[in-house]
Structure 1
Amino acid sequence: MKTNRRTFLGGVSTVAVLSASGASFAQGAKKYSDGATDTEIKIGHTNPYSGPASAYGVIGKTLQAYWKYVNEQGGINGRKIDFITLDDGYSPPKTVELVRQLVEQDKVLCLFNTLGTPTNTAIHKYMNAKKVPQLYVATGASKWGKPKEFPWTMGFQPDYHTEAVIYAKHMLANVKDAKIGVLMQNDDYGKDYWEGLRDGLGKEVGRVVKHVTYEVTDPTVDSQVIQLKDSGANVFFNISTPKFAAQAMRKAGDIGWKPAQYLNNVSVSVATVMKPAGFDNVQGVITAAYLMDPTDSQWDGNDDMKAWKAWMTKHNSGASLSDGSNVFAYAVAHLMHETLKRCGNELTRENLMKQAASFKKFKLPMLLPGITISTSPTDFYPIQAVQLQRFKGESWELFGDVMHAESS
């Protein structure tokens, strides 16, 4: 992406798959914070269109397509969305610089779905000091669900700690004499998963025989994977972003290491991870899911999936239908859309957070059956359930029951 900034002006009234609840809004005096007017709502966003996490750039592009589509429909309650998305390259100092620009110069109403644990951590205190909503961040770190300390920040996806606890329990129950090797990105994102694994193992934490890390600036993780194989590990917990996740699973295959593999949910895209890793190398890999996977044929007749594919074909035609990141972006954009719609004519930052914290078992498009959105003033974890899935052939296959998070 050559430019550092992309802006779309436009609007949306309703989307067919959105709930009718909250569609009507209070008449009377209009109230606005910075970033909102009678005709416009200004939203800020950062994403790694370049750099080591650029595989996530598709999320930003799909969000752009969504808000453009919304604008073509007429806007939210008659207001067009000005979506300003900037490339931070997954670099926290760059994120700080760009977010200051969005808040202080562009004067956005809020940030939406800013991507990355280290990058969001870098702006966490700033956003709360400024009292600007940092909504539905694209990271599952458990810190985004602490309304008492950080009332202006809310997560979206299930938290990493809980996800890792689930993997730990599955390892202990299903792998005989488990000897666990861990590859971890050396930052807050990786550490959240690592702590969850240790907590989930409990008194069995000694089963971790090797724990290696990498930096996002590293060219490869080949040497780390060799160390894990040499440790005698028969379980591989892969805590890495797409580029490194694919590298690690391919390298394991190349050196003939065949452990039971567990992959963090943030790297489950068939298009950007599993296929580049080599389908032969990823058979049986286990992960946790909360969204329908577009490669899973069981959803072919599902109304949500059919609507998503039709929308993608018409409004985001250059994007891959096998990349789960496009499902993620579509789903979280619908949640933001509904939140803004519920604000009615009171487009203040306070009311935006109030509406975000008022969902009750809301059915969001593309969530797995049995998983809904619920929030409250004391609960900033919108999604608190997952289901395990296993890679088979060239797609993911769900198994077991929907499991609810510890925080629920």
Structure 2
Amino acid sequence: MKKRDHLARIGVFVLVFLANIPSYAEDVRGVTGDTIKIGFIMDQTGPIADTSLPITAGVRNYFRWISDQGGIQGRRIKVLVEDDRYSIPMALAAFKKLVYKDKVLAILALGGTGQTKVLYHHMEKEKVPGITVGLTEDMVKPYKRYLFIPCATYEDEVKVIFKYIVEELRTKDLRLGFITMNIEYGKVGWEAAVETAESYGLKIVDKEIVNFGAADAVSQVLGLKKKNANIVILHQDIGTALVFLKSAKKLGFTGTFIGTYYVTDDTVVRIAGEAARPLIGVHSLASWHEDTPGMVKVREITLKYDPSFKEAMQNKFYTQGWITALITAEGMKKAAHNLTIEGLVDGIESLKNLDTGGITAPISYSKTSHKPGNYCKMYRSDVPNKKMIPTSGWLRPKE
């Protein structure tokens, strides 16, 4: 009798335990017994494909490697990529497909700054965790339960540039210029520059715009020359930065050019050549060629899968895709047997001082902050070797 009672208690315990384990086939969107589906939205064929294709490759290769190491709790990760052609309507259509048809657990990249701002309402409504490529403060302030960024923001980079100008360059008769684009990304950088200049008691003497598709930047260079700008902050994308640098060289415009996120990349030096010689920059991610433990591992794994990995993909955008996937995977590992939508969010929030081997500064999130830190490094162009090489350790903006 006692034996039967004991067995009955065990049976009840097992039933209660099993009832509290998610039925992945039915209850958790994007998770089955052997697969985890992760969505990805970004331009594949449009105006920023030169930056988004390496990001896509970084995400795919990291998840492939994780899957080959045994996956997450034995589950392989399947990445479903949607092309939004850098368009908000197409990003919204892609989001709906991934959530309602493909039923993914989370979505990465989310198109860009403008796309993410539109998509977040839908992410919150449908409880879709995501890590965006839109690196602006308003992605994470105020706190948004389902949205993360993978590294420091554009605003952080602008602030570090000003700190560098004031504390390191100490240029006499400083006359600051600023060149950007008439898109959300450009507006964010400009606002940060104006605010930070004021905090240092500085003035920006000229602002110029170079937009997608511009054939040259002659008028913009002439505008900067007219105002005698001797340091110019380039808050642009790769294409418009190349247009500016080539026009500056052609017109003999000398000075110091300091690039932010998209400009501080080997791609710019490789294509611009001698026109990139005055270029220095700031970035929160390591370059393909850096010899930190993390980047050595990135190269080893990537070249194992693709021995002829294209030089055009060997850039910081590939690093961005890699670190985005790494953060997602680490969050899923933290969730462990509670790999649900909320479990993934809690898992990423629990990451503290995550050592990436120098791919980024150590990463920390919390239940009140979905920004992993504000550290960046300074770089300068190495034209003969077609690289941007680091010239500092990890720096943070002035408090």
Measured against the shorter chain, the TM-score band is: 0.7 to 0.9
Residue number among 72, 76, 79 corresponding to 1:80 in the alignment = 76
Q: Report matched runs for 1:344-359 at 5 Å.
A: 344-359=336-351
Q: Is the 8 A contact 1:222 1:247 kept in 2?
A: no
Q: Is the 8 A contact 1:164 1:193 kept in 2?
A: yes
Query: Is 2:181 the counterpart of 1:185?
Result: yes
Q: Report matched runs for 1:90-101 at 5 Å.
A: 90-101=86-97
The offset of 1:256, in angstroms, is 0.8
Secondary structure of 2:253's counterpart equals: coil
Query: Is 2:377 the counterpart of 1:382?
Result: no
Report the more deviating stretch, 65-74 or 380-389: 65-74
- Quote the Cα distance in structure 2 between the aligned partners of 1:402 and 1:72: 32
The offset of 1:402, in angstroms, is 2.5
Who is 1:331 aligned against?
323
AA aligned to 1:30 is: I
Residue number among 219, 222, 226 corresponding to 2:222 in the alignment = 226
Q: Report matched runs for 1:6-405 at 5 Å.
A: 29-31=20-22, 32-56=27-51, 57-135=53-131, 137-146=132-141, 148=143, 150-173=144-167, 174=169, 175-202=171-198, 207-216=203-212, 218=214, 220-270=216-266, 272-278=267-273, 280-296=274-290, 299=291, 302-317=292-307, 318-320=309-311, 322-368=314-360, 371-393=361-383, 394=385, 395-405=387-397
The offset of 1:344, in angstroms, is 1.5
Deviations 1:171-219 (A, max 9, x none): 3442221212211111221122112111211166663121122443555
Secondary structure of 2:188's counterpart equals: helix
Deviations 1:286-339 (A, max 9, x none): 22233332345xx2xx43333222112111333327422222222222221111
Who is 2:9 aligned against?
none
AA aligned to 1:331 is: I
Per the alignment, do residues 181 and 404 of structure 1 end up closer, same or farther by CA in structure 2, a change over 3 Å counting?
Answer: closer
Q: Is the 8 A contact 1:147 1:380 kept in 2?
A: no
Secondary structure of 2:70's counterpart equals: coil
AA aligned to 1:152 is: Y
- Quote the Cα distance in structure 1 between the aligned partners of 2:246 and 2:88: 29
The offset of 1:98, in angstroms, is 1.0
Secondary structure of 2:224's counterpart equals: helix
For the aligned residues, what is the CA RMSD? 2.3
Report the more deviating stretch, 225-234 or 156-165: 225-234
Secondary structure of 2:36's counterpart equals: strand
Deviations 1:80-132 (A, max 9, x none): 21211111111122111111211122121111233421222221222123221
- Gapped runs of 5+ residues in structure 1? 1-26
Per the alignment, do residues 268 and 202 of structure 1 end up closer, same or farther by CA in structure 2, a change over 3 Å counting?
Answer: same
The offset of 1:373, in angstroms, is 0.5
Instruction: Give the TM-score normalised by the residue count of structure 2.
Output: 0.85
Q: Is the 8 A contact 1:63 1:333 kept in 2?
A: yes
- Quote the Cα distance in structure 2 between the aligned partners of 1:365 and 1:328: 14
Q: What is the total number of aligned residue pairs between the two structures?
A: 371
- Quote the Cα distance in structure 1 between the aligned partners of 2:217 and 2:275: 16
- Quote the Cα distance in structure 2 between the aligned partners of 1:41 and 1:139: 24
AA aligned to 2:236 is: S
Secondary structure of 1:143's counterpart equals: helix
Per the alignment, do residues 217 and 104 of structure 1 end up closer, same or farther by CA in structure 2, a change over 3 Å counting?
Answer: farther
AA aligned to 1:356 is: I
Identity of aligned residues (%): 22
Secondary structure of 1:292's counterpart equals: coil
Secondary structure of 1:265's counterpart equals: coil
Per the alignment, do residues 190 and 42 of structure 1 end up closer, same or farther by CA in structure 2, a change over 3 Å counting?
Answer: same
- Quote the Cα distance in structure 2 between the aligned partners of 1:379 and 1:166: 20
The offset of 1:40, in angstroms, is 1.6
AA aligned to 1:387 is: K
Q: Is the 8 A contact 2:157 2:283 kept in 1?
A: no
Q: Bigger radius of gyration, 1 or 2?
A: 2
Secondary structure of 2:233's counterpart equals: strand
AA aligned to 2:21 is: K
Q: Is the 8 A contact 1:52 1:89 kept in 2?
A: yes
Per the alignment, do residues 330 and 134 of structure 1 end up closer, same or farther by CA in structure 2, a change over 3 Å counting?
Answer: closer
Deviations 1:12-41 (A, max 9, x none): xxxxxxxxxxxxxxx964324211122221
Instruction: Give the TM-score normalised by the residue count of structure 1.
Output: 0.84
Q: Is the 8 A contact 2:330 2:348 kept in 1?
A: no
Q: Is the 8 A contact 1:242 1:267 kept in 2?
A: yes
The offset of 1:60, in angstroms, is 0.6
- Gapped runs of 5+ residues in structure 2? 1-16
- Quote the Cα distance in structure 2 between the aligned partners of 1:384 and 1:203: 18
Report the more deviating stretch, 54-63 or 325-334: 325-334
- Quote the Cα distance in structure 1 between the aligned partners of 2:370 and 2:320: 18
